[in-house]
Amino acid sequence: MENLVFLAPFIPFFAMLPPSIAAIWIANRWLKTRGTTAEVQAELKSLREEVETLRHLHADTQERLDFAERVLAQLREGPREVPKGPPGTTLG
């Protein structure tokens, strides 16, 4: 469990996805029973665009998480000494 602590900052984002998707599903069901008007269609289009934005954000977050996991894995497998500067430079 201790190695999953780095996921803590992502919890609010993951908590936001299911309600957003549920809201779009509810709106879609409501529109089917109510009929369609230009205003409702515009709102539905806006909601769909928002979901698409959330999907892109989720994909970006996943990429960042994968990168962080790779960095952590390299740190665990690599030497235990932390480099003190860029390669080829001397301190002092």
For residues 9-24, give the mean pLDDT: 82
Quote the mean pLDDT of the chain.
Answer: 81
Q: Percent of the chain, pLDDT > 90?
A: 30
Assessment of whether the complete model's pTM goes beyond 0.95: no
Instruction: Kindly report, residue by residue over 54-89, the tens digit of the pLDDT.
Output: 999 999 999 999 999 999 988 888 765 655 666 666
Residue 92 in this model has a pLDDT that exceeds 60:
no
> Rounded to whole angstroms, what are the CA distances from 91 to 34, 82, 87?
71, 14, 11
Which residues have a Cβ under 8 Å from the Cβ of 24 and sit 6 or more positions away?
47, 48, 51
